[in-house]
Amino acid sequence: MKRTISILFCILTILLMVACGKTEVSTSPEDYIDKPAEDFISVFGEPSEREYGPSCLGDGEDGVLIYDGFTIYTYREGDEENIVNVHIGATPEPTPTVTEETHAAYIHADEEGYYNPDRFLTRREAVEIFYELAGKPRTSGKCYEDVSREDEFYYAASYCYANNLLDADRLNPDSIVTYSELAEMAAVYSGNSDAEDGLEPIARKDDSINLYQATACINRYLGRNADEEYLKTLAGLIPDADMTNEYYPDLVEAAATHAANCSKDGEEWLTVNGYISLPQGFNYYMGGLYYIKEDGSAAVDEEINGFKFDESGRYTSGNEELDALVNAVLSEYITEDMTQLEKLAAVYNYLIYQCSYSYGNYYDTGTNYWATDEAISFLTNRMGNCYGYAAAMSALARAIGYDATPWAGMIISFKMRHVQHGWCEIQYEGQMYICDPEMGDNSLSGEDYFFMLSTDPSCTRWEYNHDPSVIYYDPEEDE
């Protein structure tokens, strides 16, 4: 019996010794820092994701092992992989790699500075775009059957043919390119055949596409994305573009050579070649009037202080015919280096030197409903009566940023009698002034006398007044 008890006691002692000497397994990820990754994996299992990349710690690789609730960072070299850090919580977003790049423009304006972005793209224009992107290499040799060396676009066509960008025997340069053809060219050029996977198609594959859509397609394959916040400060860069169009950013990305910080999250534009940032307020630029708000963005499809700005950010009178007539005058007589007052003087001088008086309609005091019709008639024919001069002056002044209004009213004539008359009133530096080009055209006092007259009755004998409640009495009427 004693022998049995002794044996049991010895067995119990051995079991207790084994139990006391057993190594416990840690369940805290942080306890595995500086330890082999395989030990960690033996306890916690395989990660849901693994990523490896070049390491700055040595010749090996940095690893990221993602688990539910924590992330393990490792260093792997050869057959050894050790844990260097542990992050408890959701996996932090990696800091995107940022590189500064210059993106060259690959579309250009015509001789008048316009892009005509609503037009359909031709196959000739398509090959010229990719030739431009490639740096205009002089590729010669076999080409499309319908392209000769005498054609201006020969080298562009030859480049695309040699690189199989447009798989065809004939270019048919004047034919409209389809969406599928342009996408295939972009895919071959970029080597990025899956650029549109999972994205909403820009157009159906056999559709003709305009310049907005074409640049959007190409930019997808190139991985180029315009900085939309920066774009808001580029008023007038593409004067005939609709800034509300969904592909407007792509159009600017293609038209403006720019430097940008680029990452997988997009572009942060730094500078745009050849563009001068416009100051806050009204700016006559690239043949049009723009308004820059305090945040640096342009007024687009909105009204500011009675001035309407369309989808391109340009001022509009609301009448296309009048806008065209006004722009024709301004493009000939206004330069961007003029001061604001010099621009006003230039349009005033245009009216008194290039236009002439003719008889016309008269209007009731205090009205200006006639302004658009009179301005169109006067600028079309370059002649009219005082109301035509006034309406034209107002239309031209507003198009360069002046708060100008034409009025029908009464003045004292050269014969010292009250007569019906039309003139333009202009707000300048907080004061109201009168511009009367019809009187300037016919004045014995000199043409400049009626340019920016003060409205203060003590400063002029003409007693300009458009208040319909005033009753005038002339002694001669009793005679």
Residue 292 has pLDDT above 80, yes or no: yes
User: Are residues 348 and 467 part of one domain?
Assistant: yes
Cβ(84)–Cβ(72) below 8 Å: no
Is the pTM here over 0.85, yes or no? Answer: no
Within a domain: residue 461? yes
Helix axes 320-333, 340-354, angle to 10 degrees: 100
User: Are residues 274 and 202 part of one domain?
Assistant: yes
Cβ(149)–Cβ(155) below 8 Å: no
Within a domain: residue 18? no
CA distance 350 to 352: 6
Residue 413 has pLDDT above 80, yes or no: no
Q: Tell me which of 94, 111, 146 is where a domain ends.
A: 94
User: Are residues 105 and 62 part of one domain?
Assistant: no
Burial readout 30-62 (b: 16 or more C-beta within 10 A, e: otherwise)? eebeeeebeebeeeeeebeeeeeeebeeeebbb
User: Are residues 388 and 265 part of one domain?
Assistant: no
User: Are residues 103 and 89 part of one domain?
Assistant: no
Within a domain: residue 298? no
Q: For the chain, what is the domain count? A: 3
Q: How large is the average pLDDT for residues 5-11?
A: 46
pLDDT tens digits, one per residue of 70-127: 898 899 998 899 988 888 877 666 666 788 999 999 999 998 888 999 999 999 999 9
> What is residue 403's predicted lDDT score, i.e. its pLDDT?
96
Alpha-carbon torsion (113, 115, 118, 124), positive or negative: positive
Residue 169 has pLDDT above 60, yes or no: yes
**For residue 420, what are the domain limits?**
320-478
> What is residue 368's predicted lDDT score, i.e. its pLDDT?
96
Within a domain: residue 260? yes
> What is residue 479's predicted lDDT score, i.e. its pLDDT?
42
Which pLDDT band holds residue 21 (cuts at 50, 70, 90)? Answer: very low
Which pLDDT band holds residue 458 (cuts at 50, 70, 90)? Answer: low
**Residue carrying structure tokens 């109301």:** 387
φ and ψ of 424, to 5 deg = -120, 135
User: Are residues 242 and 336 part of one domain?
Assistant: no
User: Are residues 165 and 70 part of one domain?
Assistant: no
Q: How large is the average pLDDT for residues 362-373?
A: 96
Within a domain: residue 249? yes
User: Are residues 46 and 120 part of one domain?
Assistant: no
> What is residue 92's predicted lDDT score, i.e. its pLDDT?
65
CA distance 146 to 175: 12
Q: Pinpoint the alpha helices (H) of 313-423.
A: 320-333, 340-354, 371-381, 386-398
User: Are residues 421 and 380 part of one domain?
Assistant: yes
| Better-predicted residue by pLDDT, 296 or 423 | 423
CATH of the domain at 447: 3.10.620
269: tokens are: 């534009």
Cβ(286)–Cβ(340) below 8 Å: no
pLDDT tens digits, one per residue of 240-280: 899 999 999 999 999 999 999 998 888 999 999 888 778 88
Burial readout 310-336 (b: 16 or more C-beta within 10 A, e: otherwise)? bebbbbbbeeeebbebbbebbeeebee
Q: Tell me which of 70, 94, 118 is where a domain ends.
A: 94
Segment among 42-46, 343-347, 371-375, 425-429 with least mean pLDDT? 42-46
294: closest CA among 284, 307, 280, 283?
A: 280
Cβ(147)–Cβ(173) below 8 Å: yes
Written as one letter, the residue type at 447 is: E
CA distance 168 to 185: 12
> What is residue 448's predicted lDDT score, i.e. its pLDDT?
61
Q: How large is the average pLDDT for residues 175-180?
A: 95
User: Are residues 341 and 467 part of one domain?
Assistant: yes
Within a domain: residue 441? yes
Residue 380 has pLDDT above 50, yes or no: yes
> What is residue 15's predicted lDDT score, i.e. its pLDDT?
46
CA distance 201 to 210: 14
User: Are residues 254 and 128 part of one domain?
Assistant: yes
> What is residue 87's predicted lDDT score, i.e. its pLDDT?
85
User: Are residues 230 and 356 part of one domain?
Assistant: no
> What is residue 8's predicted lDDT score, i.e. its pLDDT?
45
Within a domain: residue 430? yes
Q: Tell me which of 40, 66, 94 is where a domain ends.
A: 94
Residue 5 has pLDDT above 50, yes or no: no
Which pLDDT band holds residue 139 (cuts at 50, 70, 90)? Answer: confident
Within a domain: residue 166? yes
pLDDT above 70 covers a percentage of the chain that reads: 89
